[in-house]
A and B are shown apart, each in its own frame.
Chain A
Amino acid sequence: MPVDGSGQVPVLAADRPDYRRLIERARVHSSVYTDPQIFADELARIWYRTWVFVGHASEVAQPGDYIRTTIGLQDVIMARGTDGRVHLLLNRCAHRGNLVCEAQRGNAKSFRCPYHGWTYRNTGELIGFPFNQGYGGKGTIEAELSLARVPRVAEYQGFVFGSLAPDGPDLAEHLGEAARELDRLARLSPEGRVELTAGWLRHRTRANWKLLAENETDGYHPQFVHGSIFSVTGSPIGALYSDKSAAVTRSLGRGHSENDLRPEFRKAGEPMRWFGTTADRVPAYAAAMRAAHGPAAERILIEGAPHVMIFPNLFVAEIQVFVIQPLSAGECVQHSTAVQLAGAPELNRRMVSQSVGSVGPAGMLLADDTEMYERNQRGVAMLAPEWLDLRRGLARERIDERGLRIGGATDETGMRGFWQHYLSLMEGA
């Protein structure tokens, strides 16, 4: 299958940009956000090679359930087979290349292409086609034609990832230190399970996907960009992104990064402060957590949820999950949904309403960020200065007890980790 099938004309190796000259330790050249050739290169070397988040197992809970999702520009069907397993298929008929599925979600154990009626199992096998005498009868070509399968599919805490490369690091290696942040999210459920069942909002954004990935753990912007939502809601979170904060920005390796606010929450020692509330306001949830976790519940409720960007497209922002879908050098889609925790209906309702307020059509958080992304995309197209500066906090970085690089709450440590990994993928063989 065309694992690098970006639809672009293949680029000769000799014509590829010298990424070492575009990406330095403390600055990045503007062209990496604007050049269509670099975007095509990213599709081949990042999106069609590394592990990419495609959806959550809870989105296809029943056998026959399917959703449409993407890996880079590829339209992907995520389906649960009657065997209970999750399958990832490219949404392209083996006959004439038509899209097979049109609906964003549904329940069907087989798919029938609307063009000529070729019919497939939801695991990809071709069942048959109309008027089969034209192909010499039944059982002649079915075995050689199927929906293309994404070669590697793996789950962690129900988060489903696909890789279009048949070989490479496995998902555990790719996630590395970021895996424990997904664990941290799951343990906030009294049943230990995350569900992404609240539905997705989609925001088309005229900006390069990397501006979003970098911003997700940029602790420098919240006090400026999000000042309005912090003041309206009386949130204590804004103050945690300052030079006085004990919070840290941590590069988790492999391009992943986090804003770790736990040092501040531990100092406060108040359960549910991370959620902007107190335990007595969510009594059923607190009781369920204490029943499930015993004495450990206090620490879990104090430390709260992660704020982690998982390279290249999954961002867990405490109570919301964002997914970045690239469209071109200058455009992407942000998908967002409220986290739902199994066994926590009281908290789930609040997470949905908070998400409506932050990322809904009239929400204040995502709209503010998106305004910055789109202004940023216009800015990086200007001729000079040619570089984006990445040096904030470089001189005060250190290695923590886990061997990971950390900086202050407002430092650009996460971005530097992102670019280091990006460079390793883009300049590799």
Chain B
Amino acid sequence: MRASPQNIHAVTPEIVLEFLAHTLPFNELDTDTLRNLANSCLIDFFPKGTVIFRQGQTQVRYFHLIQKGGVKIYLKDEDGTVTLKDFRGEGEYFGALPIIQGTNVANLNVETVEDTFCFLFPREAFLSLIQSCPKVTHYFLRSLSEKLVKTAYAQLRQHKIAPRTENALFLFSAQVGDIVRGAPRAIAGSDSVRMAAARMVELHIGSLLVHDQEKKIVGIITDRDLRTKVVAAGLDYQTPVSRIMATPLKTIPSHKVCFDAMLQMMRLSIHHLAVEQQGTITGVITTHDIMILQGTSPLFLFREIVAQRTIEGLYPLARKIPAVIRTLIEEGAKANNITRMITVLNDHLLDRLLTLLVAELGPPPLPFCWLVMGSEGRREQTFITDQDNALLYAEPESEAQGELAAAYFKILGEKAIDHLIGCGYPPCPGEIMASNPKWRQPVSGWRGYFDHWLRNPEPLEVMHSAIFFDFRAGYGDATLAENLRQYLVRNVPQQEIFLLHLAQNALEARPPLSFFHNLIVEKDGEHKNSLDLKKKGIAPFVDFARLFALKHGIPENNTLGRLQILHEDGHLSRELYSETVKAYEFLMQLRLVHQLRMIEQQHPPDNHLNPADLSELEKQTLKEAFEVVRRLQSHIRQEYRLGEG
């Protein structure tokens, strides 16, 4: 514009420039940005008593900065009651919130209390300023107060999750066939009630189906029947079951939803229903099962997991984790607490599963430790994520013992993986699981692997091995894992070349911001118009924290934990640390809400977010988070003297 001959005489008015240069946060801007902003400025005059914004009516097209004069800001409710919110004077502003939030409609009334001159900056100019200058963004996000950030989280909580009707979502969606646990257990009608009671104790169940001589199911006997009809009535324990059983058997088709089952049981005042699929009884459903389904408190689920006596009984419990998490998100829990809760639940589930499995297989020939890696290792799991696990066992003292151990852990590994799949944890596509013989090793085997990665680093191998460095003990003898960790803490910091590869690896995921700070989405393919939150958003933080934790010999696994120690040890400035934590937590939150929504829409959860589904504020915050990624990566570049690749 300045080059065109008509405008050689154009000059930026000093008045605006100078005013901006002395006004927060514009005084942070560089001269060119300031000049552009000043050039977009309109100067307006509002005589005393002018209503500039009318709440809910005025289209806000300009950010207003008061040059001289003053305004009052107030709310008016339906009854016409006026609540005065604020007075703003010279150097203060109004109109930022509707623009940042993208509503573009005045949220409050603004009226001049003096003759007032304002500098007006068009909406687009203000937004592009916010997009290009993190300091300005921070200023407004901060000065629009915690409240606004809370609004962002509230939006995440409320708008993104479909309202749940009476806490009963699963009652209406889960079919009775889905929650039946294990095959039906039956006893002959001619067997004694004593035998029935013994069988129930053995199986840890509260009811048995009763079959006749043709093995046809004819009735049901419950522990309540034993109490009321046998013990309390003083009946002989040798009485045949057929005398006290409830018959005919009440059944429900397996495709009915749980809500129907609940209604039927309430109507009949019974606690058990046989589930029937094409004429065959496939199991029994109880009021207790329905209650579990409704229960969404983590503690309740936790107790259920710990109390499980069969591995199969854990399957439906694992699938309830999303419902529990949903409650937490609704209650406003932050992502960090949520992932920790998911981790605790998963850990207990794994613990229970392996305890039951070891009980089934008999004691192991050598102490072992089940290692969990990747996000599970870092205690950062969101909803069901792929399995990443391995098995570490004590060094065999003889070849024979080694063979025995290999054979035992083969069965343990394979069975455990099958059960985990049964619980709904998808297998790892890269076969990084304890079912793979490569990842079932004694201590020497694992040290060998790590030595190999550290001493002969190949870029591709470094990339693939990164998740192994996030291992922790999931079950079994934790000292085995701790010793291995200490071995790494001692050895990794000297491995300059390995760390260099790791650093390069951490720079792979470029922040999806265009030159003009717009979000870049996938142009085509399955995930067109979406943005990979995990790869582009979460991973750079994880990679950054892992790189520097390993470099400085920090044994911590959790990303936030690593960042905190890095900060405390003086490897990360307070400012960058706090920005990083905020950005990372926001991204995790965004991912959790996105995944929860997918689960509730009956889609498998993924990490592909469409920015168009976000509010302006969320988009803004997301961009800011990616801006932090940019800073982290330039920190890595400086540290390792790596250029822009």
Are A and B physically bound partners?
Answer: no
Q: Give the B-binding residues of A (Cβ under 8 A).
A: none
Q: Give the A-binding residues of B (Cβ under 8 A).
A: none
